[in-house]
């Protein structure tokens, strides 16, 4: 059985990756917006972003919008690829389950459908 | 250890939920640009209508196409997510404009105050419909706009144009900032 990416397979990091994956390649999302979408605290989001940045899955840019400091995040090509692989692994787990014979319910397949219901 | 089937299914559901939330966020952001633009346009247009009632037609004939062009530029920023957004936008605004003209033709003669209610009430109804089908904030915006419009028309005729500038144009601007806060 395929094992999904351990870095992504964590609830907050999964949300971060899913949110960033909805953006077009090269499109940046502000930290505050990402925080609203992921629904977590500044500290928690920052810590998980550092993990993802360490894996080179996200790019983080810090600059100023006028006089206001601004942090923006973008999914890297490597991150996008890893996320696609992660989703494929999840689907593979589900597909494997449907392919396995259902021993307990096998007799039910011989039962004619009840069309009168 | 690989996750169980239930965990995998839960993770996929989580991804779908976040995608929907992110899509809503992007939709609100795009809408907020339009609300700020049209809010400013209406605030200026209604204020000028109050100051120069003899030039109402000219004021709006300049304001509406100008705002349309800027609005189209803003809308095209979402072109990667929504193919054909540029012409869809023009069709939408063109429909509102055409509706307003046709109602004037059918209902003529209308006072300037009555005529100026047609497009805003139509826009309010559109927001209610969008809100019911898509995103709840639009429902609130539509209902509040309609209420403000009717209150102004029924109870504040002496200051009608200023009411419209602040109540309608100003509300658009406030709603525009509100949509930027998820």
> Which position has the higher pLDDT, B134 or B72?
B72
Closest CA to B38 of B179, B182, B132, B157: B179
Sign of CA dihedral B97, B100, B103, B105: negative
Q: What is the mean pLDDT of residues A20-46?
A: 91
Interface A-B, measured as beta-carbon pairs within 8 A, has a size of 63
Question: Residue A116 — very low, low, confident or very high, per pLDDT cuts 50/70/90?
Answer: very low
Q: Rounded to 5 degrees, what are φ and ψ at B3?
A: -70, 155
Query: Which pLDDT belongs to residue B63?
Result: 95
Query: Which pLDDT belongs to residue B96?
Result: 94
Question: Residue B81 — very low, low, confident or very high, per pLDDT cuts 50/70/90?
Answer: low
* CA–CA min distance B163, chain A (Å): 34
Q: Are B32 and B179 in contact (CB under 8 A)?
A: yes
- The DSSP secondary structure of A42-59, one letter per residue, reads HHHHHHHHHHHHHTTSEE
> Which position has the higher pLDDT, B168 or B75?
B168
CA torsion angle for A59, A31, A23, A14 (degrees, to 10)? 80
Residues from chain B contacting residue A23 (CB–CB below 8 Å): 22
How far from each other are the two terminal CA atoms of chain B, in whole angstroms? 37
pTM: predicted TM-score of the whole model, two decimal places: 0.74
> What residue has token string 């929907």?
B20
Q: Are strands A29-30 and A58-65 parallel, antiparallel or unpaired?
A: unpaired
Residues from chain B contacting residue A90 (CB–CB below 8 Å): 3, 8, 11-12
Pick one of 3.40.640.10, 3.40.50.2020, 1.10.10.10, 3.10.20.30 as the CATH number of A6-95.
1.10.10.10
Question: Residue A3 — very low, low, confident or very high, per pLDDT cuts 50/70/90?
Answer: confident
A3/B22 Cβ within 8 A: no
Q: Residues with Cβ < 8 Å from B157, sequence gap 6 or more?
A: B113
B147-150: long-range contacts, CB 8 A cutoff, minimum separation 24: B149/B117, B149/B120, B149/B121, B149/B124
Q: What is the mean pLDDT of residues B40-45?
A: 97
Of B3, B19, B80, the CB nearest to A9: B3
> Which position has the higher pLDDT, B1 or B18?
B18
């Amino acid at each position: 059985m395929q094992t999904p990416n351990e870095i992504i397979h964590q609830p907050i990091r999964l949300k971060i990756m899913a949110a960033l994956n909805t953006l077009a390649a090269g499109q940046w999302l502000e930290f505050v917006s990402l925080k609203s979408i992921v629904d977590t605290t500044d500290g928690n989001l920052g810590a998980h972003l550092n993990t993802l940045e360490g894996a080179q899955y996200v790019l983080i840019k810090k600059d100023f919008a006028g006089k206001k400091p601004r942090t923006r995040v973008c999914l890297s090509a490597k991150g996008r690829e890893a996320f696609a692989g992660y989703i494929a692994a999840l689907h593979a787990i589900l597909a494997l389950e449907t392919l396995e014979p259902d021993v307990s319910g096998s007799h039910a397949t011989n039962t004619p459908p009840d069309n009168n219901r | 250890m690989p996750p169980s089937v239930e965990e995998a299914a839960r993770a996929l559901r989580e991804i779908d939920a976040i995608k929907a939330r992110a899509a809503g966020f992007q939709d609100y952001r795009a809408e907020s640009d339009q609300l700020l633009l049209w809010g400013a346009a209406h605030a200026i247009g209604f204020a000028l209508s109050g100051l120069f009632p003899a030039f109402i037609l000219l004021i709006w004939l300049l304001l509406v196409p100008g705002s349309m062009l800027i609005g189209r530029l803003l809308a095209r920023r979402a072109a990667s997510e929504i193919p054909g957004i540029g012409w869809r936008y023009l069709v939408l605004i063109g429909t509102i404009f055409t509706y307003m003209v046709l109602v004037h033709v059918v209902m003529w003669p209308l006072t300037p105050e009555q005529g100026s209610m047609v497009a805003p009430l139509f826009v309010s109804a559109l927001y209610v419909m969008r809100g019911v089908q898509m995103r709840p904030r639009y429902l609130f915006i539509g209902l509040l706009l309609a209420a403000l419009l009717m209150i102004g028309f029924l109870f504040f005729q002496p200051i009608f144009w200023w009411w419209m500038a602040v109540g309608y144009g100003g509300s658009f601007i406030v709603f525009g900032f509100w949509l930027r806060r998820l």
